[in-house]
């Protein structure tokens, strides 16, 4: 497995951990449990961001700018539904 695939796998695993921690925080029955899940979620989000930034710096996670007219179309679509 090359470095890119390893980083992609790490990012996917970290995203899964974020999802679990978020649901744990939402469903927790006490403040202590909620705070523990919330702290874990914040730590996991930081690690996810670190992995993403390293992948982006290597060109392994390219992003593109969305045309403003497409953003406006989506914005208007949802504004008209509310």
CB contact at 8 A, 51 and 7: yes
Q: What is the pTM of this model?
A: 0.77
CB contact at 8 A, 39 and 72: no
CB contact at 8 A, 14 and 44: yes
Alpha-carbon distances, residue 33 vs 1, 16, 43 (angstroms): 37, 19, 15
How many helices (H) and strands (E) in the chain?
3, 0
| pLDDT values of the chain reduced to their tens digit, one per residue, 82 residues | 899 999 999 999 999 999 999 999 999 999 999 999 999 999 999 999 999 999 999 999 988 889 999 999 999 999 988 6
């Amino acid at each position: 497995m090359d470095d890119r695939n390893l980083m992609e796998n790490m990012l996917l695993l970290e995203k899964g951990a974020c999802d679990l921690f978020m649901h744990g925080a939402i469903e927790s029955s006490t403040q202590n449990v909620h705070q523990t899940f919330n702290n874990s979620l914040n730590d996991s989000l930081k690690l996810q961001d670190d992995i993403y930034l390293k992948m982006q710096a290597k060109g392994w996670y390219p992003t593109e700018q969305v045309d403003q007219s497409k953003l406006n179309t989506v914005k208007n679509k949802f504004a008209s539904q509310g």
